[in-house]
Amino acid sequence: MIDARSSPRLSCDRPQASIDEDGHTPAPPAEHSPIASTGSTASYRPTLVLTAVLGALVSAAAAGAPAAHALTGEQAVAALNAQRAASGIPADIVHNPEWSRWCALHNNYQRINRTLTHEESPSAPGYTPEGARAGRTSILSSGNRWDTVNPWEHAPIHLHQLLAPRMNAMGIDVAAAGYMCATTFLGLDRPAPAVDTVYAYPGEGVRFRFEETAGELPRTPGQLVGIPAGTKTGPYLLLSVDGPGLYPLAQARMTEATLVGPDGPVEVRRVDNATPGMGGSIPTGGQIIALHPLRPRSNYTAHVRFEIQNLFETTTRVVEKTWSFVTLRLDPKTEIDANVGSDGYGEGSDVLLTSLSGAAGTVRAVRPATGETRTFTVRSHNRQEMGLPAGRWQLCVGQPATVDYEAHASCLDEIVDVPMPKADVIRPRAAKRTRSKISIPIHVNPVLAGRPLDITIMRLKVRCPTSPQATRAREYCRHTPQWSTKRRRTMTAAAVVRLTLARPKGLDAVSIRIRAKGLVAGDVTVRAVNLEGHYHRY
């Protein structure tokens, strides 16, 4: 999905690979690293077409998953291996720390120059030869991270490069400024399989999405076959072909592509790495695009046939594959919204669960500072009081799958502050009275120790007519008194602040208003306090 940020739209095309009159692919410029062709003594330098992504769609993980945190380079490689293995794609890619360092250099170049680009200018700040090489041989993105889901999951060209069967090593860097770099063309030297093989994503029997909105720069494969950018389609099915002696970017022509579901044949579009605009962008193979979203929780069977023109071979290889996958249930679109201190006094902490699924959600609140954990069950479209004590909490929700809806797990993007209730910050106690004085003890929470308290004292005197002829006026006056004096005082907070007031003759009541500024103490937020207490003579 294209991010709405103001980052420039970048066209990152490289010269297109082409077949000459002898059926061979000319070698590209020497700036690209050589990759030896399996089964051939010739050295092949692949022509690259790299692309860039701005932003990413992050879908929910399985219910009960922990909060999403950005992965390290090594963890991201492990996550990619698991994704590949689930579809039967070779999955023992090794993390190369040196390539990750190169990616970090290129990310730093992009950060300094505020750009998203595969090229580095030697005259620009932050330029390094290693970073420049990483930029030319990697996929890039800005404004996302690798956590529970591959950040290029809905960028079909990028994803296809990450699923290349020949890849056996890679480097990844996630920069603090939000840039990502993953090498894809530096490690394409895995030995070829013993027989011609078609690798599919999703693989046989995999549960897969039924719709997607692809987005990447400079274009999506769908745009090359008449599907406008931003169109919601069925899933992109990615096919990669490999075999003995087949060089990694050999041209494959998809001559047949079908997809059949519970409603019969599905209308599809197809692209391959021989399609104009796709050469050098993806491994040998192609993509099948369902023109419309598929039916959720349904079985689909796909069939594909490729004709492969290999380097230095005069004959055409033909490979076919038929496989099935199952579409996922509907997305419940579950969200939680925390509304703390909703009573205006910093007390209470409640959470609202919204979901298309009727299943109740389990909300788990974790206080990072102490590790304290509390769990609550919230029904769909209901607000649940959690009663969390003051502190900073991370809220996550897990929801089981139903017949029609997927399981869900997500966390609030930000830690939620549950402020300390005002009653726990300042507590005026009952006044002690004598004939001449009123003594008011004020208990103060230690978080305010040494901080100023602004105290306003208002005295009340009843001034009523004394004339016998003004009986009604005197009675009215007794019920509508006015404050006669007002005085402000600043005191330094201690465990107990004792306010002593003279009680002159005729004083009927005292109102004490106490104010303190808000602050953050440790992991506790204290809101500004504004309390008022009335102390009557009666």
pLDDT tens sequence across 116-135: 999 999 999 999 999 999 99
pLDDT of residue 484 exceeding 80: no
**Better pLDDT: 66 or 238:** 238
- Is 122 within 8 Å of 15 (Cβ atoms)? no
Alpha-carbon distance 366 to 387, whole Å?
A: 13
Q: What percent of the chain has pLDDT over 90?
A: 50
Please give the pLDDT value at position 260.
98
Beta strands 335-340; 372-378: pairing state: unpaired
Please give the pLDDT value at position 509.
72
Please give the pLDDT value at position 24.
34
Tokens of 82: 């698991």
pLDDT band of residue 360 (cuts 50, 70, 90) is very high
DSSP 352-407: EEE-SS-S-EEEEEEETTTTEEEEEEE-TT-EEE--PPSEEEEEEEEE---SSB--
Residues 209-235 pLDDT 10s? 999 999 998 899 999 999 999 999 999
Alpha-carbon distance 150 to 482, whole Å?
A: 69
Q: Give rounded-to-5 percent helix, strand, coil for the chain.
A: 15, 35, 50
| CATH code at 422-536 | 2.60.40
Please give the pLDDT value at position 313.
83
Q: Using the structure block, give the residue that is written with the tokens 């300390």.
A: 420
Please give the pLDDT value at position 75.
93
Please give the pLDDT value at position 18.
32
Q: Is 98 helix (H, G, I), strand (E, B) or coil?
A: helix
Please give the pLDDT value at position 363.
94
Please give the pLDDT value at position 61.
30
**Better pLDDT: 415 or 215:** 215
Nearest to 330 by CA among 349, 362, 357: 357
pLDDT of residue 471 exceeding 70: no
pLDDT of residue 5 exceeding 70: no
pLDDT band of residue 344 (cuts 50, 70, 90) is very low
Q: Using the structure block, give the residue that is written with the tokens 């929801």.
A: 399
- Is 77 within 8 Å of 241 (Cβ atoms)? no
| CATH code at 336-418 | 2.60.40
Alpha-carbon distance 103 to 179, whole Å?
A: 10
pLDDT band of residue 25 (cuts 50, 70, 90) is very low
In sequence order, what are the residues at sequence separation of 6 or more whose Cβ sits closer than 8 angstroms to the Cβ of residue 51? 12, 139, 155, 157, 158, 216, 217, 218, 219, 281
**Better pLDDT: 483 or 322:** 322
Alpha carbons within 13 A on the beta-carbon side of 230: 3
Residues 39-84 pLDDT 10s? 332 333 334 445 555 443 323 233 333 445 678 899 999 999 999 9
Please give the pLDDT value at position 30.
31
Q: Which amino acid is at 443?
A: H
Q: Which amino acid is at 186?
A: L
Q: At what angle do helices 73-86 and 97-113 cross, to 10 degrees?
A: 110
pLDDT band of residue 325 (cuts 50, 70, 90) is very high
Nearest to 527 by CA among 256, 346, 404: 346
Domain ranges for the chain, please list them. 35-327, 336-418, 422-536
Please give the pLDDT value at position 469.
61
pTM attached to this predicted model: 0.65
Average pLDDT, the chain: 81
**Domain 336-418 identical in fold to domain 422-536:** yes
Alpha-carbon distance 536 to 510, whole Å?
A: 6
pLDDT band of residue 449 (cuts 50, 70, 90) is confident
- Average pLDDT for 384-394: 87
